[in-house]
Amino acid sequence: MVEDPCADNACFSASTLQRAVDILFVIDNSGSMGVEQGTLAANFPGFIDVLEAQQFGASYRIGLTTTDAGGALRVSSCRERLFEFVFNDSAGTVIDEQQSGCLASCTHEQVMTIATSVATDAESIPRPWIENDGGSTNLAGGISIAEAMRCAGPQGINGSGFEAPLESMHQVLQGSANSRGFLRDDALLAIVFVTDETDCSMPSDHLGLLAGPEGMALWTDPERATSGACWAAGTTCTGGPGVYDECHPEDKGLDGQPSVDNDPVLYPVQRYVDGLLELTAAKAERGGTGQALVAVIGGVPLDYSETGTMLFADSDIPEFNREFGIGPACGRGTETTTSPPGIPPVRLAAFAEQFAADDRNLFSICAGDYTVALEQIVDALGELSARTCVPGCVADRDDDEPGLQPRCLVAERDELGLDRAVPRCLIDGDGWSFPSTSMDLCYRPLLDAAGTTPSLNDDLSRQCLTQGANVELVVERPQGAPEKSGTRVEVECELTAPVGIGCLPD
């Protein structure tokens, strides 16, 4: 007897849309990041204001980690660790960023959290993240979240010059070190990378090989392994030299050749795409939200978020190219061998584009103010909180009607547990409107996964395509209309196969 794969409601999905978000900042703590960390810290109060204005104020968490690949979260005042803002290297270079990186923004000698419990750990202990839950924070001493972020945000400049932002993120999301319990099933996930260099995420034993004689084929400086070896190990450019047509991720072995069968020096970017997909799928299977947003404040031109035009070009300074493998994509003319304004984030960009919202999600590290970038990230979160990628192949309600008629029920539940059905928006060509029975709430199904219709308004988002969904649901409210406090939208869909299994080809 063949077992029915859809027994016990295995072919139904349930998800919840509400204004809750877990935000992970992965901040480059290498020697060139002092000024940038000071800028980020100064902009955090505005970020918190926009976050709370977007109605996330009732439930958000913020975690902070470095690019040192350990995956540890921490909350402490940068004034307690000023030694981290002094960088010394073997060549005698000394960089002191205590003032610009910490003291100029932070006025609190200590930042501490009070004991709380989490869903995965009932024990009440101080947690290494900052959170606001219904207007109550986990910060000790009456300090505001904005002021705490100005002090806790700066991560120092004495970290590794072989930055591993992707691996740092991966370790946090896997719950390693002290990050277990940080992620919540019912919250959106946002990951924000802040770095001026290329990603160099690799197995721990590969660092010695890359820096030793075995890795010399990847060195861009004939004398030693610099950050340029990371660029060479994970990136290939076409065109050039001088100005290149494009650059893209490519996994290479220690011999400098594309790695097909052999171990690549760096972890493939796909490792991190797959890891985040597994995480979001697991949340969705438990009835939570599978939405995730990735953004990068990195080495892209100042106008990248408007134009989408990237720059790949060697620096006019040969020593700079030997140090970093390529010239900066922003701040050209200001670069030095100890301070790259912004190396193109090729591997990070390839990862981030798989988890973008409707707008571009790469912003320039060379901007003197990150307010616009942070505001756009929060706006994107606001958009994601009103939509969901259904985690599986949604069944058709009516085989006789052309196209897919999703077999889904959408309901709004208030804080008293009372439900009201959310009707489907009226679709008219490229536009839509509220039905006469509900002028304050309706939902739209996005069904065009292949881009086959002329309209862009029915296209699934990139991250829903990454997740293999065939339906994305968007909840619409009147422009500027706030959600009622304590309400959430619940979505239940019938699937043709268990959750997580996409549609099979006809």
pLDDT at 192: 98
Residues in a beta bridge with 74: none
**336 belongs to a structural domain:** no
* pLDDT value, residue 3: 64
Residue range 460-482: average pLDDT? Answer: 87
- Do residues 276 and 355 make contact, with C-beta atoms less than 8 angstroms apart? yes
Average pLDDT over residues 148-167: 96
Domain match, 351 and 460 both: no
Average pLDDT for residues 463-492, to the nearest whole number?
86
- The predicted-structure confidence for 252-279, as pLDDT tens digits, reads as follows 999 999 987 778 999 999 999 999 999 9
State the pLDDT confidence band at 2, using cuts at 50, 70 and 90.
low
Pairing outcome for strands 488-494 and 472-476: unpaired
Q: What is the CATH number of the domain that holds 280?
A: 3.40.50.410
User: Can you tell me the distance from the alpha carbon of 280 to that of 282, in angstroms, rounded to the nearest whole number?
Assistant: 5
The 3-state DSSP class for residue 253 equals coil
Q: Which tens digits make up the pLDDT trace of 105-130?
A: 999 999 999 999 998 888 899 999 99
Q: Does residue 208 lie within any of the structural domains?
A: no
Burial class (CB in 10 A: 0-12, 13-18, 19+), 485: exposed
Give domain status of residue 365, yes or no: no
Which residues, in sequence order, are CB contacts of 417 under 8 Å at separation 6+? none
**What does the pLDDT read at residue 260?**
75
**Residues 42 and 144 reside in one and the same domain:** yes
DSSP code of residue 56: I
Task: Label residue 400 by pLDDT band (50, 70, 90).
Answer: confident
380 and 446 both lie in a single domain: no
Residue 77 and residue 35 share a domain = yes
Question: For residue 17, what pLDDT band results from cuts at 50, 70 and 90?
Answer: confident
Tell me, what's the pLDDT at 9?
66
Distance CA 151, CA 101 (A): 10
Domain of 426 in residue numbering reads as: 7-13+387-494
Residue 424 inside a domain? The answer is: yes
Average pLDDT, integer, range 11-35: 92
Q: Within this chain, do residues 418 and 276 fall inside the same structural domain, yes or no?
A: no
Q: Tell me the pLDDT tens digit for each residue of 307-348.
A: 999 999 999 999 999 999 999 999 999 999 989 999 999 999
Interval 379-395: pLDDT, tens: 999 888 888 999 889 99
The long-range contacts involving 260-263, CB below 8 angstroms and separated by at least 24 positions, are 263/206
Q: Is the CB of residue 289 less than 8 Å from the CB of residue 16? A: yes
Q: Is residue 222 part of a domain?
A: no
409 and 287, same domain (yes or no): no
Residue 195 lies in a domain: yes
DSSP 266: S
What does the pLDDT average to over 442-446? 94
Does one domain contain both 351 and 403? no
Instruction: List, in order, residues 6 or more apart from 302 with CB less than 8 Å away.
Output: 330, 364, 366, 367
Residue 57 has pLDDT above 70, yes or no: no
180-203, pLDDT tens digit by residue? 999 999 899 999 999 999 999 999
Mean pLDDT of the 139-162 span: 96
Residues 471 and 437 in one domain: yes
- pLDDT of 505 strictly over 90: no
Look at 460 and 357; give whichever has higher pLDDT: 460
Digit-coded pLDDT (tens) for 337-376: 989 999 999 999 999 999 988 788 999 999 999 999 999 9
How far, in whole angstroms, is CA 61 from its chain's centroid? 14
* Cα separation, 392 vs 343, whole angstroms: 38
Q: Which of 297-330 are b and which e, b meaning 16 or more Cβ less than 10 Å from the residue's Cβ? A: bbbbbbebbeeeebbbbbbeeeebbbbbbbbbbb
Q: How many domains does the chain have?
A: 2
Identify which of 268, 308, 376 has the alpha carbon closest to the alpha carbon of residue 43.
376
Question: Are residues 353 and 432 located together in one domain of the fold?
Answer: no
Asked whether residue 81 is assigned to any structural domain, the reply reads yes
Cβ atoms of 453 and 476 closer than 8 Å: no
- Looking at the fold, whether 70 and 193 belong to one and the same domain comes out as yes
Q: Would you give the distance in Å from CA 67 to the centre of its chain?
A: 14
53 shares a domain with 130: yes
pLDDT on residue 452: 86
Let me know whether 402 and 374 are in one domain: no
d(CA 364, CA 351): 17
Encoded tokens for 370: 């990150």
Specify if 340 maps to a domain: no
